Amino acid sequence: MFSYYDAFKYDAQNRLMGTVTVREENYGSDGIRRTADDIATGGWIQYYNADVKIERKDFLLSIGEDGTWFTEDDTYSGVEKTTFNAQGDIDQIMTFNAKGADETWNTSDDVLQTRKQFSYDANNRLLDEVTYADSGEDNTWFTQDDVESARTQIRYDDVTQTRTDLPSASFGEDGEFGTSDDVIGGYGAVRKIYTLQDGEGQIIYSNAGEDGLWLTEDDVISAYYYYEYDAQGRDTISYTLKSIGADGLWLTEDDEGLFLRLSTHSADINYVTETRYDLGEDGRGLTADDTKKSQRLQGSLPANLF
């Protein structure tokens, strides 16, 4: 049932430090998962600032000669660094994909691959996410000629309690992002997020329909998602649906369901089991005709990996 597991390491404050992946073919000579002879293949480790926000994540390809994960001799594949504004919101995320001339990761000459810039409204709600993929003609990052490669505009409707994400992969004839002729939907999914009484609903759109205009009645819907969360903000139930039915209400009798995922978290937050079910003929979750399809365990690492 378990073809792999993601194993976590936590610090003394019970904060997630990092994770590695162990696949079934690397369960060791005993063939049993989560035992001392398991071999992990790749992972990441993250670091917190004084405000307990993640400011750096190191992506790892393999363990080093010392045989211990998350030490200086691990082989890196990249580094992600995050900066924050005065309000504590994310300002920029920078991704580095190579070491610089000093041949050392996490130094000032690491090679910047992309950067994302975030902006907010007066209520600290995210408005725009802009991705830059090149430093421009001056070959210097963080200058006016950095090349914008994608943008997601985020809009809110306080009356209907919805958020709409509008990603664009290219600009239109005016040569600028963030204008009315951007090519929407090529980068990520156009998404509407609904705040519901017991959870959150999301509608994903695949194209703008026959009129060629986004956010009109003929936009083509590709999927519906529904989530419920626990007091710690962790999802516990999620549905993937083909339709929410003619009544337009979530999780009612006329919905058409695809599958359900249940996430069970341990009290100490260090373990989670995710179980996926295909919905039976009734199209409803948590009923007798649901069929278990897969299960995944995530949790603290066996001691030998550290």
DSSP calls for 55-68? EEEEEEEE--TTS-
Q: Which domain holds residue 113?
A: 48-56+64-120
Q: Rounded to an integer, what distance in angstroms lies between the CA atom of residue 180 and that of residue 191?
A: 18
pLDDT value for 133? 94
Identify whether 95 is part of a domain. Answer: yes
Task: Evaluate if residue 303 carries a pLDDT over 50.
Answer: no
Residue 270 confidence class, pLDDT cut points 50, 70, 90: low
* Structural domain includes residue 91: yes
| 160 inside domain | no
Inside any domain, residue 102: yes
pLDDT at 250 over 50: yes
If one counts the domains in the chain, the total is: 1
Within a domain: residue 219?
Answer: no
pTM of the model: 0.78
Which one is predicted more confidently, 278 or 140? 140
Give residue-wise pLDDT tens across range 106-125.
999 999 999 999 999 998 99
Distance of alpha carbon 205 from alpha carbon 219, whole angstroms: 7
Within a domain: residue 20? no
Task: Report residue 287 as tokens.
Answer: 């009923």
Min mean pLDDT across 146-160, 244-258, 288-302 is at: 288-302
Q: Could you tell me if residue 166 is inside a domain?
A: no
Whether 99 is in a domain gets the answer yes
Close Cβ partners of 205 (under 8 Å, ≥ 6 residues apart):
185, 189, 190, 191, 192, 214, 219, 220, 221, 222
pLDDT at 306: 46
